[in-house]
Structure 1
Amino acid sequence: MRIIGYIEHPSLKISVFKNDGRTSVKFETSRYEQTFKLGEDERFATVEGVQKLVDGPMIEKVLEGFRQMHSTSLEAIVRAFPTPEVALFEDII
């Protein structure tokens, strides 16, 4: 697999890959990633073709997916490692 290019974005790293004629695009944040396998479709054979696909609405859906992934991760952490409840004030007798 080799990187054929990047798509500029202020908060995401977007990489375009080629492997045996198949193209994929990967979106990354500091903690999560999503990869879309685009196959051997000629429309996506170049970075320019993939840029047409990766438009504002798609990026918004990807960001929504990252928010959901983060929420899922936090919920799993809370279930796996619950924190004991700590009283905010001392008991006064």
Structure 2
Amino acid sequence: MRIVGDIAHPRLKISIFHHAERYAVKFEHAGIEITFKFSAEEGATDLASIKAMMDNAFIAAAEEKLRALIPMRLEKIAEVLPAAREGEFDEII
């Protein structure tokens, strides 16, 4: 799989990949990513067609999904982090 393009966005990193007659569009924000895959049968025939599919409404919906996942990630970090810090330093006698 190789990167063939990107879409400029003020808050998200949006990368477009191509592999085996398929395109993948990856949206990244705050340590979370979601990927949508499209084939030629679904209208993904080249980079221009993928960019045309990624209209403002689709990008806004993807951003909303990413933002909805942020609390889940932060809760897991908070759950694991205190346990990891307990053994961080040697006991001083």
Scaled to the shorter chain, the TM-score interval is 0.7 to 0.9
Q: Could you say which structure has the higher helix fraction?
A: 2
What 5-or-longer segments of structure 1 have no aligned partner? 83-93
**Identical-residue share of aligned pairs (%):** 37
What 5-or-longer segments of structure 2 have no aligned partner? 83-93
Tell me if 1:72 matches 2:72: yes
1:26-78 deviation line (CA, Å, top 9, x unaligned): 11124111100112336212221111111111111111111111012223345
Work out the CA distance in 2 between the residues paired with 1:44 and 1:64: 23
Find the residue that maps to 1:68 and give its secondary structure: helix
Number of residue pairs the alignment of both structures matches: 83
Match of 1:88 in 2: none
Match of 2:12 in 1: 12
Match of 1:27 in 2: 27
Q: TM-score, normalised by structure 1?
A: 0.73
Structure showing greater radius of gyration is: 1
Q: 1:42 to 1:78 in 2, by over 3 A?
A: closer
CA RMSD of aligned residues (A): 2.1
Q: TM-score, normalised by structure 2?
A: 0.73
